[in-house]
Amino acid sequence: MPNTKNTANKEVAATAATKKLGILGGLGPMSSVYFYEMLTRHTDARCDQDHLEIILSSGATTPDRTAFILGQSTESPLPRMQADAHALITAGAELIAIPCNTAHYFYDALAESISVPIINILYETVTTLAGIGVQKIGVLATEGTVASGSYQHVCRQIGIDCAVPDAADQAIIQNIIYGQIKQGKRPDMAAFAEVSAKLTDAGCTRLVLGCTELSLLVRDEGLGAPYFDSLEALAYRSILACGKRPVGFGPDFAEVPA
């Protein structure tokens, strides 16, 4: 499990000056496209020039994060992520967002190797939910994210409880992500709902879509409460951190401090 000395994210508070955002994307590609769309849709803008300045890297051939975390591959994604981050900085990025939860296993190593801040999707998600009084969340994510304990660790830091599916249910979620969504197939929403129901029965009042492939279910399947989209938390903070005003987000974000 990674250490989390940088997850407080204090260095990416909103400022009056605008900043150029680098998106370290392609992890996977469709969720990166959705993130870019989300940033554009939710920025208070009246003309092209009011929108964020964005540089997008889509490193689709980056080695699989989950396979490395689980010991199924010896090919670390970190060197490619570092190379792409440096390319974004060279191109003018002043802060970086990574629309992939599993990739945040490498957050600290990546942050230590570059010269600009990285917005942490895990921290933004958990602090947003804690800020609206949520006491216990359920995490729906890749097997890599769950096995790494990344969300569990951030929840302990923030002071809320966290539950994950059991092994059989995690296998269902993993297949929905890798066997269905990543392959462009319609996800098994009945199976997804069954896994979700077990977490709510266990006392989870909000269910985090802790994989940005699952974020696509909000757009394509109309998921609402009790689900909370980690990609929305990343988009909200990215807009603020770039010196712009976020608009059109739901009530969960009404009390998020700038």
Q: How far apart are CA 141 and CA 208, in angstroms?
A: 8
pLDDT by residue, tens only, the chain of 258 residues: 444 444 444 345 444 589 999 999 999 999 999 999 999 999 999 999 999 999 999 999 999 999 999 999 999 999 999 999 999 999 999 999 999 999 999 999 999 999 999 999 999 999 999 999 999 999 999 999 999 999 999 999 999 999 999 999 999 999 999 999 999 999 999 999 999 999 999 999 999 999 999 999 999 999 999 999 999 999 999 999 999 999 999 999 986 665
- Could you say which DSSP state residue 178 is in? I
- Domain coordinates in residue numbering, the chain: 10-120+233-250, 122-230
Domains 10-120+233-250 and 122-230 fall in the same CATH topology: yes
Strand, helix or coil at 78?
A: helix
Q: What's this model's pTM, rounded to 2 decimal places?
A: 0.93
Sign of CA dihedral 145, 210, 124, 84: positive
CATH number 3.40.50.1860 given to 122-230: yes
Contacts of 4 (CB under 8 A, 6+ apart): 107, 108, 153, 154, 157
Which fold would CATH assign to domain 10-120+233-250? Rossmann fold (3.40.50)
